[in-house]
Structure 1
Amino acid sequence: MPNWFRRATKSAPQANAAPRADGGTADERARDGLQHHQAGRLREAEAAYADALRLDPQNIDALHFSGVIAYQEGRHEEAHRLISQALSRNPANPPAHNNLGNVWMKQRRLAEATASFERAIALQPDYLDAHLNLASAWIAQDRPEQAIPCYRSALRLLPGSYRLRLDLAQAFATLGRPGEAIESCLDAIRIDPESPEGHSNLGHFLREAGRLDEAAASCQRALALSPDFGPGLSNLGDVLKDKGQLQEAVACYRRAIALHPNVAGVRYNLGVALSDADRPEEAVACFRDALAIEPEFAEARWALAMAQLPAVCESDADPERHRQAFARELEGLEGWFAGARLTLGAKAVGTHQPFYLAYQEYSNRPLLERYGGLCVRIMAEWSRRQGLAAPSSERRRAPQGRAGPCGSRLAAFPKPFGVERDRQRLVSEAGPDPFRSRGIPPRIRPRRGNRFRPLARCPLRRGSARAVPVGAGDRR
Structure 2
Amino acid sequence: MRILTATVFSLCLAWPAMAAAPDPDDACASGYAALDAGDGETAAGLLEQCLSENEQTPEAEVHTYAALASAYLAGEHYPEALSAFNMAFAIADTQHAEIADPTLWRNRGIARLQLGQLDGALSDLQHAAGEMPDDVLTYLNMGFAYQQMERPADAVVSYDAIVRLEPDWMGAWLNRSSALLDAGMTGAAVADARRAVEMEPENGSSLNMLCWTLIQDGRADTALPLCEEAAAIEPDTGAIIHSQATALEAVGRLDEALPLYQRAHQLSPDDPQITADFERTRHP
Q: Which residue in 2 is equivalent to 1:247?
A: 255
- Could you tell me which runs of 5 or more consecutive residues in structure 2 were left unpaired when the two chains were aligned: 1-9
Q: Which residue in 2 is equivalent to 1:37?
A: 35
Pairwise CA distance, 1:263: 5.7
Pairwise CA distance, 1:230: 4.7
Q: Which residue in 2 is equivalent to 1:104?
A: 112
Deviations 1:27-74 (A, max 9, x none): x86453222123315344442464267231521311212233455433
In structure 2, which of residues 178, 184, 193 is the aligned counterpart of residue 176 of structure 1?
A: 184
In the alignment, does 2:112 pair up with 1:114?
A: no
Matches within 5 A, 1:413-432: none
Q: Are the counterparts in 2 of residues 121 and 131 from structure 1 also a CA contact under 8 Å? A: yes
Distance 2:209 2:99 in 1: 41
In the alignment, does 2:88 pair up with 1:79?
A: no
Judge which range, 152-161 or 221-230, deviates more: 221-230
Normalised to the residue count of structure 1, the TM-score between the two structures is 0.48
Distance 1:87 1:128 in 2: 26
Q: Are the counterparts in 1 of residues 65 and 85 from structure 2 also a CA contact under 8 Å? A: no
Aligned partner letter, 1:91: I
Distance 1:181 1:169 in 2: 4
Pairwise CA distance, 1:266: 4.0
In the alignment, does 2:163 pair up with 1:155?
A: yes
Higher share in helix: 2
Structure with larger RCO (C-alpha < 8 A, sep 6+): 1
**Root mean square deviation, CA, Å:** 3.2
Aligned partner letter, 2:87: L
Give 3-state SS (helix, strand or coil) of 1:55's partner. Answer: coil
In the alignment, does 2:188 pair up with 1:195?
A: no
Q: Which residue in 1 is equivalent to 2:65?
A: 63
Pairwise CA distance, 1:145: 0.9
Normalised to the residue count of structure 2, the TM-score between the two structures is 0.76
Pairwise CA distance, 1:189: 0.5
In the alignment, does 2:50 pair up with 1:51?
A: yes
Matches within 5 A, 1:308-323: none
Aligned partner letter, 1:55: E
Aligned partner letter, 1:81: N
Q: Which residue in 1 is equivalent to 2:153?
A: 145
Q: 1:253 to 1:110 in 2, by over 3 A?
A: closer
Pairwise CA distance, 1:180: 0.9
Structure number with greater Rg is 1
Q: Percent identity?
A: 20
Matches within 5 A, 1:238-387: 238-256=246-264, 260=267, 262=269, 265-275=273-283, 277=284
Deviations 1:348-380 (A, max 9, x none): xxxxxxxxxxxxxxxxxxxxxxxxxxxxxxxxx
Give 3-state SS (helix, strand or coil) of 1:142's partner. Answer: coil
Distance 2:120 2:203 in 1: 36
Q: 1:95 to 1:255 in 2, by over 3 A?
A: closer
Give 3-state SS (helix, strand or coil) of 1:126's partner. Answer: coil
Pairwise CA distance, 1:192: 0.4
Distance 1:261 1:120 in 2: 33
Q: Which residue in 2 is equivalent to 1:165?
A: 173
Q: Are the counterparts in 2 of residues 155 and 164 from structure 1 also a CA contact under 8 Å? A: yes
Q: Are the counterparts in 2 of residues 196 and 229 from structure 1 also a CA contact under 8 Å? A: no
Aligned partner letter, 2:68: S
Deviations 1:206-251 (A, max 9, x none): 1111112112232123245456665333212112222333212213
- Could you tell me which runs of 5 or more consecutive residues in structure 1 were left unpaired when the two chains were aligned: 10-23, 278-476
Q: Are the counterparts in 2 of residues 8 and 93 from structure 1 also a CA contact under 8 Å? A: no
Distance 2:251 2:147 in 1: 31
Distance 1:224 1:200 in 2: 11
Give 3-state SS (helix, strand or coil) of 1:5's partner. Answer: coil
Pairwise CA distance, 1:177: 1.4
Q: 1:273 to 1:99 in 2, by over 3 A?
A: same
Q: Which residue in 2 is equivalent to 1:339?
A: none
Q: Are the counterparts in 1 of residues 27 and 46 from structure 2 also a CA contact under 8 Å? A: no
Judge which range, 199-208 or 40-49, deviates more: 40-49
Pairwise CA distance, 1:4: 4.7
Distance 1:274 1:199 in 2: 27
Q: Are the counterparts in 2 of residues 120 and 130 from structure 1 also a CA contact under 8 Å? A: yes
Distance 2:242 2:215 in 1: 13
Q: 1:87 to 1:140 in 2, by over 3 A?
A: farther
Q: Are the counterparts in 1 of residues 129 and 138 from structure 2 also a CA contact under 8 Å? A: yes
